[in-house]
């Protein structure tokens, strides 16, 4: 059966994640050691003892979710399940880069730490005179309708950031832009527009400084060609080479996540089994918005993995 691993991103984290995988697998324990050694962060304490608020800090989230994702990936592999294709949502794409052989685990942990630092710095430098910039989820309004409303209202510094499902789009912007956009979207028939608890307007041009800093940092990083089918957040399509993967990693910071396009292309490529390799059930839930498709199985806990394999 043609299988794809899907790796979650920021927002999937929770205190204590991957503890059972750590206790069950020597390879996972070695991965924790590698993550600590390459970042200077006590990741065992962070994942197992960190609070919700601590884990929500962008730099901590980037390290901890990547570690939990790859821990799940290792245990799935140990128990005999591998994938022919991989995709990751936002930050989760870095786990997919490792799973597809583009990056090594040794490369990825310091890289996501830097990415988090660049994003946090760029977000903190934005104008906050009218309030904090951020993101909001638009529910019950189709993607084309959201795009049309954003185009018609022409609010400066307001952007579509995540195309999560046929009926869920996330927008990013300054506080003033979000307020104006929320009013326009509700007027157009959105069932709800929910502000998200995030530290910045991610996946928007407002983080161009972070993209520039990441581009410079990546100059010395070797991206190899993928050995499995690898899907891109930026295009929704497949990535053919390490060179392309590096360029897209930079663009991903300021570009929307085209997750529904990724899902559609996974189906077009003939994938039949989908496993969420990482904490939580966010991607399984988004996958469920598609009708008449195989369910996405969650595999962030040892018990879930045992049920799958």
Residue 144 in domain: yes
214: in domain: yes
- Please say whether the beta carbons of 242 and 102 come within 8 A: yes
C-alpha 208/C-alpha 220 separation (Å) is 20
Judgement on whether residues 177 and 260 belong to the same structural domain of the protein: no
Q: Are residues 119 and 255 in the same domain?
A: yes
Q: Are 112 and 215 within one domain? A: yes
Looking at 177, 195, 213, which one is the last position of a domain? 195
CATH of residue 16: 3.40.366.10
Query: Does residue 252 lie in a domain region?
Result: yes
Residue 178 counted as domain residue? yes
The pLDDT assigned to 39 comes to 98
Query: What is the separation of C-alpha 250 from the centre of its chain, rounded to a whole number of angstroms?
Result: 14
Same-domain status, 112 and 47:
yes
pLDDT-based confidence at residue 289 (cuts at 50, 70, 90): confident
Block residue for tokens 């530290």: 199
Q: Do 155 and 20 share a structural domain? A: no
Domain end position, chosen among 174, 195, 216: 195
Query: Pairing mode, if any, of strands 3-7 and 296-298?
Result: unpaired
- pTM across the whole model: 0.96
State which residues form the domain around 220.
Answer: 3-124+205-308
Active site residues: 90, 203
**Residues 209, 189 within the same domain:** no
Residues 191-214 have pLDDT tens digits of 999 998 888 999 999 999 999 999
Percent of the chain's residues with pLDDT above 70: 100
Mean pLDDT value across residues 177-185: 95
Band (291; pLDDT cuts 50, 70, 90): low
| DSSP annotation of 299 | -
Say if 129 falls within a structural domain.
no
Q: Are 73 and 40 in a shared domain? A: yes
Same structural domain for residues 100 and 228?
Answer: yes
Tell me the C-alpha distance between 87 and 224, whole Å: 16
Question: Is the same domain home to 144 and 175?
Answer: yes
State whether 189 and 234 are in the same domain: no
Check whether 305 has a pLDDT greater than 80: yes
Number of domains in the chain: 2
Pick from 195, 214, 232: which residue ends a domain? Answer: 195
Same domain? 15 vs 67: yes
Domain for residue 155, yes or no? yes
Instruction: Let me know: does 51 contact 123? Beta carbons within 8 Å.
Output: no
Residues 38 and 147 in one domain: no
* Structure tokens belonging to residue 182: 């929320």
User: How does strand 192-195 pair with strand 134-139?
Assistant: antiparallel
- 229-248: pLDDT as tens digits: 999 999 999 999 999 999 99
Helix orientation angle between 105-124 and 92-99, rounded to the nearest 10 degrees = 160
Measured CA to CA, the distance from residue 153 to residue 57 in angstroms comes to 32
Residue 168 maps to which CATH number?
A: 3.30.70.250
**Per-residue model confidence as pLDDT tens digits over 103-141:** 999 999 999 999 999 999 999 999 888 889 999 999 999
Residue 130's pLDDT is what?
83
Question: Would you say residue 200 lies in a domain?
Answer: no
Least confident of 34-38, 129-133, 161-165: 129-133
Asked whether residue 234 is assigned to any structural domain, the reply reads yes
> Distances from the Cα of 154 to the Cαs of 14, 56, 158, 176, 271, in angstroms?
37, 31, 8, 13, 39
């Amino acid at each position: 059966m043609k299988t794809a691993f899907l790796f979650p991103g920021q927002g999937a984290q929770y205190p204590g994640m991957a503890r059972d995988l750590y206790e069950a697998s020597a390879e996972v324990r070695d991965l924790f050691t590698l993550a600590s050694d390459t970042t200077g962060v006590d990741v065992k304490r962070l994942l197992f003892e960190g609070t919700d608020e601590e884990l929500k800090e962008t730099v901590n989230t980037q390290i901890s979710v990547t570690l939990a994702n790859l821990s799940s990936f290792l245990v799935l592999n140990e128990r005999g399940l591998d994938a022919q294709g991989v995709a990751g949502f936002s930050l989760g794409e870095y786990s997919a880069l490792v799973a597809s052989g583009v990056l090594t685990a040794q490369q990825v942990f310091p890289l996501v730490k830097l990415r988090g630092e660049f994003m946090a710095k760029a977000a903190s430098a934005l104008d906050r005179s009218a309030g904090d910039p951020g993101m909001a989820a638009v529910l019950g309004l189709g993607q084309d309708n959201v795009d049309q409303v954003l185009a018609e209202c022409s609010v400066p510094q307001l952007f579509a950031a995540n195309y999560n499902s046929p009926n869920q789009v996330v927008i990013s912007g300054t506080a003033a832009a979000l307020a104006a956009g929320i009013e326009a979207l509700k007027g157009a028939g959105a069932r709800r527009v929910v502000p998200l608890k995030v530290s910045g307007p991610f996946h928007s041009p407002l983080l161009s400084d972070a993209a520039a800093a990441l581009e410079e940092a990546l100059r010395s990083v070797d991206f190899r060609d993928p050995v499995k089918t690898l899907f891109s957040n930026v295009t929704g399509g497949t990535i053919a080479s390490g060179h392309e993967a590096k360029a897209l990693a930079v663009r991903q910071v300021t570009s929307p996540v085209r997750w529904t396009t990724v899902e559609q292309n996974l189906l077009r490529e003939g994938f039949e089994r989908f496993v969420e390799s990482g904490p939580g059930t966010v991607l399984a839930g988004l996958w469920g918005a598609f009708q008449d498709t195989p369910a996405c199985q969650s595999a962030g806990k040892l018990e879930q993995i045992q049920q799958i394999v």
